[in-house]
Amino acid sequence: MSNPIAEQINSALLEAESKLAAATCDADVEEVRIHILGRKGLLASLSGSMGALSADERKEAGIAFNTGRSRCKELVDAALLRIKSAAKTGDRAQFDLTLPGRRQPVGRKHPVVTVIDDAVAVFRRLGFIVADGPEIEDVFHNFDALNTPAAHPSRDPGDTFYFSDGRLLRTQTSPVQIRTMENHEPPVRIVAPGRCFRRDTPDATHSMNFHQIEGLLIDRGVSLADLKSVLQMFAIEMFGQGVKIRLRPHFFPFTEPSVEYDFSCIMCNGSGCSVCKHSGWLEIAGAGVVDPNVLKNVGYDPEIWTGYAFGLGIERIAMLRYRINDIRLLYENDVRFLEQF
- Site residues (CB under 6 A) for ligand PHE? 172, 174, 252, 255, 286-288, 309-311
Judged by beta carbon, residue 111 or residue 311, the one nearer ligand PHE is: 311
List the alpha helices (DSSP H) in 50-159: 55-88, 111-125, 139-142
Judged by beta carbon, residue 194 or residue 288, the one nearer ligand PHE is: 288
Which residue has its beta carbon closest to ligand PHE? Answer: 311
Question: d(Cα 133, Cα 193) in Å, to the nearest integer?
Answer: 9
Q: Name residues whose C-beta falls within 8 Å of residue 182's C-beta, 6 or more positions apart in sequence.
A: 298, 299
Would you tell me how many other CB atoms lie within 10 Å of the CB of residue 164? 5
Task: Output the smallest distance, CB 258 to ligand PHE, in A.
Answer: 6
Judged by beta carbon, residue 177 or residue 264, the one nearer ligand PHE is: 177
Q: Is 190 exposed, middle or buried (0-12, 13-18, 19+ CB in 10 A)?
A: buried
Judged by beta carbon, residue 33 or residue 179, the one nearer ligand PHE is: 179
Task: Output the smallest distance, CB 268 to ligand PHE, in A.
Answer: 26
Judged by beta carbon, residue 17 or residue 256, the one nearer ligand PHE is: 256
Task: Output the smallest distance, CB 146 to ligand PHE, in A.
Answer: 8
Best CA proximity match to 222, nearest among 321, 292, 169, 168? 292
Give the Å distances, CA to CA, from 139 to 111, 147, 165, 212, 297. Answer: 31, 11, 11, 19, 14
Task: Output the smallest distance, CB 311 to ligand PHE, in A.
Answer: 3
Task: Output the smallest distance, CB 272 to ligand PHE, in A.
Answer: 26
Judged by beta carbon, residue 16 or residue 294, the one nearer ligand PHE is: 294
Task: Output the smallest distance, CB 275 to ligand PHE, in A.
Answer: 21
Question: d(Cα 143, Cα 297) in Å, to the nearest integer?
Answer: 12
Q: 255: alpha, beta or left, given left = phi > 0 and alpha = psi -120 to 50?
A: beta
